[in-house]
Amino acid sequence: MSLENRYKKILLDIINKKIPNCKVYLFGSRARQDHKSGSDFDLAIEAEKEISLLDILAIQNEIEETNIPVFVDIVDLKTASDLLKEEVKNEGILWQN
């Protein structure tokens, strides 16, 4: 079982506690399948409204308390750059709709 599948449920549970009814995309090297063993998870969240920095920090803090051995980077698609939005659109894998 891949690292992505092993930790997907844990990550989605944490995100959904703070931001219910959102879309979550895996993007970056793990989505492209060209990652190294210690590569981080890049997750983009698409919610109805802008996600507060406090909510993003709370999610990251809770993730740090888990047994996930790599860094997880969380971005809000509402506030992301156009370049990043395009990257997620082109190579992102929808984890939750």
Domains of the chain: 3-96 (3.30.460.10)
Residues in contact with 44: Cβ distance below 8 Å, sequence separation at least 6, in sequence order? 24, 25, 27, 75, 76, 77, 80, 84, 88, 92
For tokens 């929808």, the residue is: 94
Tens of each residue's pLDDT in the chain, 97 residues? 566 678 999 999 999 999 999 999 999 988 888 888 778 899 999 999 999 999 999 999 999 999 888 899 999 999 999 999 999 999 999 998 8
